[in-house]
Amino acid sequence: MKLRLLIVDDSEDDVFLLVRTLKSGGIELEYRHVETALELMQALKSSSWDMVITDHNMVGFTSKEALQVVRKFSEDLPVIIVSGEIGEDVAVNAMYQGAQDYIMKDNLARLIPVIHREVKLNADRKAKRDAEESLQYLAYHDSLTDLVNRAEFERCLDHAVQMAKLEKQSSILMFLDLDQFKLVNDTCGHVAGDELLVKITRLLKLHTRETDTLARLGGDEFGILLNHCRKQEAVTTAERIRSEVQDCRFVWQDKPFNITISIGMAEITDQLQNHHELLSCADIACYVSKDKGRNNITWYNPNDNEFHQRRAEMQWAPKIKRAAEDDKFVLFHQPMANLQQDLGPHWEFLVRLKDDQDLVPPGAFIPAAERYNLMPIIDRWVVKHVFHFLQHSGLGYKDQGTYFINLSGSTLSDGSFFEDVKRLQEASGLLPERICFEITETAAIANLVDAVQFIEDIREKGFKFALDDFGVGLSSFSYLKTIPVDYLKIDGSFVKRMLSDPIDRGIVEACNQIGHAAGLQTIAEFVEDEATMDALRNVGVNFAQGFGIAKPGPLPTLWLDNPSDSPSPQHNANT
């Protein structure tokens, strides 16, 4: 044990005796001897010490005063009083004021165990203090990048909003989102993703001033609060960041990635209420940057209709999450007509959102769900409740017919969705062939690899699959060779004009013929009258769907069970 000891004593002989006692007790010692308050202060300033041992009565100086000097520099540094004469009441009072112990000079043998004890206790105190300081630091900082975290950044933003109201200060919020982070994370793993975030953090630090606040807001999102900054200066900074990130090549295990960043900017004005509104403005601007093709900078404009639309979509996001959690979605269904032979009931399940006493149509909330990657939540809710309805309706639906459930492209990329479907099917006892999942042609093509893999897996389990809106893509027929499905739903834009436009009729006939050549059943959408239905029957289309057959409506009222009792996985139906 090596001890760095500061000795406060006005007697050279007593110091010599003290040092000899400690060394003979096996303590390796580095010490400094001081006699006055000034020397003590200088010693505490110039070096760090493990312990202070002080005499009680010195010329013009007491242990009480020595203790006060030490405590100005450190609350934790152990102080032991060694004295030839000290009253018990004085000693007890000294310990009350912060001394660790007192020892009589005629009993120095007791000093060795006391020192060992205090060194250990001080180490424990330091470890506890370090842990508390670390927890305190992590409460305000991101553990990966060491940047300010979201909670602390929001506090800084609120302060900036208040300053804008009080002092008319010009400050700017910059919201930054990496464009390729998910690609790096998914293909190379989280370690690579973390390394990319650290690399971008270093780059962003080069472009922030001491007066600015740089934060990681979560995932691949960063925020920069540019205090006392004019708009043009902020735009220049943003452009430098965008340009340098674009030039930044990220290589992981010999795989190169071109990285870009989308930036949204908003001015902090006295019109803003709080950080929530401010972050929303910058976030909306960032999404517009992504819509423009990514690698862009967008300045929030409160008078632009595009920003109003984005704001409306953002307000839907928390409502969608709550609706799934609180069962505020409602199932509707739309029957189809058998045109060639009776193959039992064919329905498409649809979804509405209950907002107070109103039922919100999907066109109001589905775009927001797609933008904010919430479609898997809705899709899971629909699958769960459809399975429960078919199992418990008491109307025999589980034993006949085919029932269609819409899926989004993002759901097909959700690795756990297929397992959730299997788990629900097994729990319900429903025959897989009763269910036909469907996805639009454009969504399937946009997610082709995931779509084909999911369709193959789901059909192998016994479920069916339909390709919706078929015919709108320029390469519809060629993709039909790639995407394995059971039904083709011919896009309604051709069907509703087939009696008046020979080209549309030709497209309907071609889609039907190709579908039958591939061994598929065909369904015509947007059938609005009897004449169109007769024409489709003559063409050979198998099923018709549209307002001319039945409008979407509530499920049969005999279903009284509560679907919340069924097994819950994690989570569309559209029109």
Give residue 380's pLDDT: 94
Q: Where are the alpha helices (DSSP H) in 48-144?
A: 63-73, 88-96, 111-138
Last residue of a domain, one of 236, 267, 302: 302
Q: Does the residue 575 lie in any domain?
A: no
Residues 133 and 155 occupy one common structural domain: no
Q: φ and ψ at 37, to 5 degrees?
A: -60, -40
Our count of domains for the chain comes to 3
Residues 469 and 374 occupy one common structural domain: yes
Residues 350 and 423 occupy one common structural domain: yes
- A 10 A CB-CB count for 440 gives 21
The CA angle 272-274-279, to the nearest 5 degrees, is: 85
Residues 343 and 458 occupy one common structural domain: yes
Count the residues in the chain.
Answer: 575
C-alpha closest to that of 329 among 281, 295, 285, 377:
377
CA distances from 169 to 35, 227, 274, 302 (A): 55, 8, 15, 19
Give residue 444's pLDDT: 79
Q: What is the helix (H) or strand (E) element at residue 77, kind and residue range?
A: none
Give residue 475's pLDDT: 54
Q: Does the residue 95 lie in any domain?
A: yes
**Mean pLDDT by groups of 10 residues along the chain of 575 residues:** 87 88 87 91 90 86 88 87 75 77 82 86 79 70 88 90 80 92 85 93 93 92 93 94 92 90 90 80 86 89 70 78 91 95 92 87 86 89 94 80 92 87 91 93 77 90 92 66 90 94 94 93 96 96 96 74 40 40
Residues 286 and 356 occupy one common structural domain: no
Q: Does the residue 308 lie in any domain?
A: no
CATH code at position 387: 3.20.20.450
Question: Which residue is listed with tokens 């007509």?
Answer: 337
SS (H, E, C) 357-406: CEEECHHHHHHHHHHCCCHHHHHHHHHHHHHHHHHHCCCCHHHCCEEEEE
Q: What is the helix (H) or strand (E) element at residue 323, kind and residue range?
A: helix 305-325
CATH code at position 174: 3.30.70.270
C-alpha closest to that of 371 among 291, 289, 468:
291
Residues 472 and 558 occupy one common structural domain: yes
Q: Does the residue 97 lie in any domain?
A: yes
Q: Does the residue 144 lie in any domain?
A: no
Residues 36 and 113 occupy one common structural domain: yes
Q: φ and ψ at 338, to 5 degrees?
A: -75, 120
Q: Does the residue 570 lie in any domain?
A: no
The answer to whether the CB of 469 falls within 8 A of the CB of 433 is no
CATH code at position 24: 3.40.50.2300
List the beta bridge partners of residue 28: 2
Residues 325 and 259 occupy one common structural domain: no
The answer to whether the CB of 268 falls within 8 A of the CB of 277 is no
How far is it, in rounded angstroms, from Cα 511 to Cα 506?
Answer: 9
The answer to whether the CB of 101 falls within 8 A of the CB of 81 is yes
Residues 187 and 94 occupy one common structural domain: no
Q: What is the pTM of this model?
A: 0.56
List the beta bridge partners of residue 83: 104
DSSP calls for 149-197:
-HHHHHHHHHHHHHHHHHH---EEEEEEEESSHHHHHHHH-HHHHHHHH
- A 10 A CB-CB count for 94 gives 24
C-alpha closest to that of 21 among 39, 37, 7:
7
Q: Which domain holds residue 187?
A: 150-302
C-alpha closest to that of 411 among 374, 385, 465:
374
The CA angle 122-126-129, to the nearest 5 degrees, is: 135
The answer to whether the CB of 383 falls within 8 A of the CB of 405 is yes
Pairing of strands 464-470, 487-490: parallel
Residues 229 and 183 occupy one common structural domain: yes
Q: Does the residue 572 lie in any domain?
A: no
Question: Which residue is listed with tokens 């609120």?
Answer: 158
How far is it, in rounded angstroms, from Cα 458 to Cα 284?
Answer: 37
Q: Does the residue 309 lie in any domain?
A: no
Give residue 137's pLDDT: 66
